[in-house]
Structure 1
Amino acid sequence: MNRIPKACAGLATSLMLVIGAGACSSSVAKSSSGGRMTGTVEVGTGVKADLDKCPSTWNQTGGITKDSITLGISAPRSGPLAGVGGLADGVKAWFDHVNATDPVDGKKVEVEIRDDAYDPARTKTNVQDMIASGKIFSFFYVIGTANNIAAQPLMSQACIPQIVGGTGSLDLVGHPDKDPWIQGGLLPYATEADIWCQDIVARKGKGASVSYLAMDNDFGDAYAKKLQECASQGDIKLVSQQRHAPTAPSITNQITTMAASKADVAILGTTSAFCGQGLSGIAASSWHPQVYVSTTCGQVGATFSPIDPDGKGTHVALNRKDPADAKWADDPTVKETIKVLKDENLSIVGTPPDGVLLGRYIEYAMRTAAKMDGGLNRVNLLKVMWHSDFQNPQSLPGIRFQTDGVKDPLIFDSVQIGTYVPPAAGEKVGHYDIAKTVVKGR
């Protein structure tokens, strides 16, 4: 059920359940004679959007026509991290399904995808071009921390939301009082690293030795900073700290150095193919640490199946059901996800299923906004972004998509720890043993 504030108590119960609490935010915004909203509007607890700072050409219904709603994303479709860009295909596949079965607000949702090869300069150009086109209602999941550092100021200045932005950097997300136009769409990297620290202490006790590898960019910096904080607090002891370039052809040297440390714990704060390389490198050594990998590498089919059984016993912070995990073979939502992807000739391995997960939330947000006073528009979308309470059926049981303005600005801050189990004889794919306890960052 959606959360309903006291101010909404006089509304009909059925209406409250549909529109949620965000529709009741107080506002001094008003429509001009041309229909454009002006002034300052409260879009969540402690969150305001100053519409007078928006460009003169801005309108709250930009990107919506009588027949369509257009969403935009810049993502790596080429280069070493091209696999991450498959998430955009998953979102598009979900909305192709929605368009064919129950269109949002009676309109077709179109998804415009631009390739940036994970190059922040190209991301910035892509976003500039999409803004200039005047066709984008909202951006979603622009992928990469450095990429968002380059492009998010453009989206915020243009007053175009980025729902579930593709970064876990707390320098960019989690501060809607400063920038209401971006909502984080990843478990924050610092939160994830803190959860690793908590789990290490629970399994090994305080002071366990840790060797970590992190990508040499803002993504890796967030992991490294939090792990260093954990070490300064005495939770862990860092004995080897390695970095690698996002375009590195190999991380063999870093893994060799980590293995020489003989640390109790190995952490791979990286993504895409680097995770599999790291796990295989550790397995081939004489080193047998407790291993953690980034949640961005949590897909069974993409990360673990190609290297089985090298990932045995690896711990991952999880918040969604993986269609490639045999554990969910009979789950109705997973079956639906598989069908949606196969209908578009997409793989259930890798990031396309994550795109369906996010597509379900974006659909919820737009349908909820469409029921509010004024209908579907960017301001009402902001209200949903900053006051969500959605049980995504593709999430793990007990994990909800929730926000409450500055009180709870992170839509992803809860996980369950999964431990990878390779396939037994006669099985095609492995699975996670998932702890029942839901863990949050401190």
Structure 2
Amino acid sequence: MAVFAGRIAITSFAAFALLAGSAAGALAQKKYDTGASDTEIKIGNIMPYSGPASAYGVVGKTDAAYFNKINAEGGINGRKITFISYDDSYSPPKTVEQARKLVESDEVLFIFNSLGTPPNSAIHKYMNSKKVPQLFVATGATKWNDPKDFPWTMGWQPSYQSEGRIYAKYILKEKPNAKIAVLYQNDDYGKDYLKGLKDGLGDKAASMIVAEESYETSEPTIDSHIVKLKSTGADIFFDVTTPKFAAQAIKKAGEIEWKALHILNNVSASVGSVLKPAGFENAQGILSAAYIKDASDPQWDNDPGMKEFVEFLTKYYPDGNKLDQSTGVGYSVAQTLVQVLKQCGDNLTRENVMKQAASLKDFRSEMLLPGITINTSPTNFAPISQLQLQVFKGERWVLFGDIISGQVGG
């Protein structure tokens, strides 16, 4: 009996040791930094819900709605997302204030998809000094792809320089003797596009670009700039503006009957928030580039990815306009983040978030154009580098040509 009891005791001890070891192993596998736990992933965001770039606020609202969908479906690896989004009015000093609040007071795991080149530039060094991910910033400035000097910052959308180079390739092929007038926002965003165009034109840039006109976001209207650019006799108008000013530029060019080929940067190519307000009659023949499917294009009516997107808007963001390009962008970047967090598993440290963000292989949000995939690596922090040209006809964009890679240096 004593022997039997002894065996029970030994067996019980072995079982206890095994359970304890398993529990210790499970605990060892779970790693958290500030902002993550067994039940929650806390994410920060900064958007211009007011101010001159308020049209982009839709991106933040779409992100929030998508995370509500994820939470309703059980979260990510059992954890719910807490999404804290603040308004900075597209004002860099306000961005700094909101970033500090998110990191030091709200204690988020990372800041995700904050919008604008000047705002993100203002917190670039701060985020890296704090070693807090500044992930999938909503701006195409080339500087976000600098893993060596800024390992905690990563872009998402195609770079502005890449896009500018693609337009230059088109101009050199189709209109090699053109005279180009450029309107650009006087900050890193505008200058990045201008650099891409000039780099793409190469030696011909000096002779082909006949006017460079910059504007400030504090200006109520850019009408006078459009009139001035028309007077140069340019037959191509390269329009590097955010939505409010893009709508003004399209409308004014129509009013004064400036018949130049109008090339509009992708960030303002939204049918719902730019072209429709400007008047479809003024937008005919505008050229741009795309990487997201356009919900106004009937070719996507029976597309499974588009159907999922429309169903998402109906259920989780009924106020969202499917014709506003920003909803498609917000949806796609949120899906990309969910993939990153799934890859993180139970290791929700800031270091692992960046590691997984830099380990995406041919990932697709189904709102991306066919043939466009998301790829990153420890030396490549530019997830999307492909675009397709499009021309505006009637009430929608019509894609043409092949998917083009505009990688800087490529």
TM-score by length of 1: 0.80
Number of equivalent positions: 376
* Residues 239-263 of structure 1: per-residue CA shift (max 9 Å, x gap): 1111111121111111111111221
Choose which of 207, 211, 219 in structure 1 pairs with 2:189: 219
Equivalent residue in structure 1 for 2:349, among 371, 377, 380: 377
Query: Which letter maps to 2:220?
Result: P
In the other structure, the counterpart of 1:309 is: 281
Question: Per-residue deviation at 1:176?
Answer: 0.3
CA distance in 1, matches of 2:74, 2:369: 25
In 2 relative to 1, CA 36–61 (structure 1 residues): closer, same or farther, beyond 3 Å? farther
Residue 318 of structure 1 and its aligned partner are, at CA, apart by 0.7
Describe the SS at the equivalent of 2:119: helix
Q: What is residue 21 of structure 2 aligned with on the other side?
A: none
What does residue 401 of structure 1 align with? 374
Is 1:439 aligned to 2:405, yes or no? yes
Residue of structure 2 in register with 1:53 after alignment: none
Superposition deviation, residue 73 in structure 1: 0.8
More helix by share: 2
Q: Distance in 1 between matches of 2:74 and 2:397?
A: 33
How far off is 1:131 after superposition?
A: 0.7
SS of 2:68 mapped into structure 1:
helix
Give the 5 Å matches for 1:57-76.
60-76=32-48
1:341-385 per-residue CA deviation (whole Å, 9 max, x = no partner) reads 232233224322311111110111111121xxx633322221122
CA–CA separation in structure 2 for the residues paired with 1:104 and 1:269: 38
Partner residue of 2:87? 115
Q: CA deviation at 1:117?
A: 0.2
Alpha-carbon distance in 2 for matches of 1:202, 1:300: 27
Counterpart AA for 1:272: P
Equivalent residues in 2 for 1:27-426, closer than 5 Å: 60-170=32-142, 172-205=143-176, 207-234=177-204, 237-306=208-277, 307-343=279-315, 344-347=317-320, 348-350=322-324, 351-370=326-345, 375-389=347-361, 390-406=363-379, 408-423=380-395
Q: After the TM superposition, which of the residue ranges 89-98 and 118-127 deviates more from structure 2?
A: 89-98
Aligned partners of 2:295 and 2:306 also within 8 Å: yes
Q: Supply the distance in 2 between the matched residues of 1:326 and 1:239 (Cα, whole angstroms).
A: 38
Q: Which amino acid aligns with 1:368?
A: Q
Once the two structures are TM-superposed, the CA of residue 134 in structure 1 deviates from its matched residue by: 4.8
Larger-gyration structure (1/2): 2
Cα separation, partners in 2 of 1:275 and 1:401, compared to 1, 3 Å: same
- Aligned-partner Cα distance in 2 for 1:35–1:245: 53
Aligned to 2:124, the other structure's residue is in SS state helix
How far residue 194 of structure 1 moved from its aligned partner, in angstroms, is 1.0
What is the letter of the counterpart of residue 260 of structure 1?
S
1:232 CA drift (Å): 5.0
Q: CA deviation at 1:165?
A: 1.1
CA contact (8 A) 2:172 2:201 kept: no
- The verdict on how the C-alpha distance between 1:143 and 1:120 changes in structure 2, with shifts beyond 3 A counting, is same
Counterpart of 1:214, as a letter, is Y
Q: Aligned-pair distance for 1:230?
A: 4.3
Partner deviation per Cα, 1:121-174 (whole Å, 9 max, x = no partner): 00000000111125311211221111112112222122111221122222x311
Check 1:60–1:176 CA distance in 2 against 1; reply closer, same or farther (3 A cut). farther
Are 2:42 and 2:109, in contact at CA under 8 Å, matched by a contact in 1? yes
Q: In structure 1, how many angstroms separate the alpha carbons of the residues matched to 2:351 and 2:29?
A: 11
- TM-score, structure 2 normalization: 0.86
Secondary structure class of the residue paired with 2:132: coil
Partner of 2:15: none
Deviations 1:106-131 (A, max 9, x none): 11112110000000000000000111
Which secondary structure does the structure 1 equivalent of 2:281 belong to? coil
Q: Which amino acid aligns with 1:433?
A: L
> Contact (CA 8 Å) 2:388, 2:399: kept in 1 or not?
no
Query: What is aligned with 2:7?
Result: none
CA separation in 2, counterparts of 1:186 and 1:144?
12
Give the ranges of 4+ consecutive aligned residues of structure 1 lying more than 6 Å apart after TM superposition. Answer: 34-37
Q: Is the 8 A contact 1:231 1:238 kept in 2?
A: no
SS at match of 2:341: helix
Secondary structure, counterpart of 2:168 in structure 1: helix
Per-residue displacement from partner, 1:17-61 (whole Å, max 9, x unpaired)? xxxxxxxxxxxxxxxxx9899xxxxxxxxxxxxxxxxxxxxx852
Give the % identical residues.
Answer: 22
Query: C-alpha separation between the residues in 1 aligned to 2:403 and 2:155?
Result: 23
Q: Which residues in structure 2 correspond to 1:5-16 (within 5 Å)?
A: none
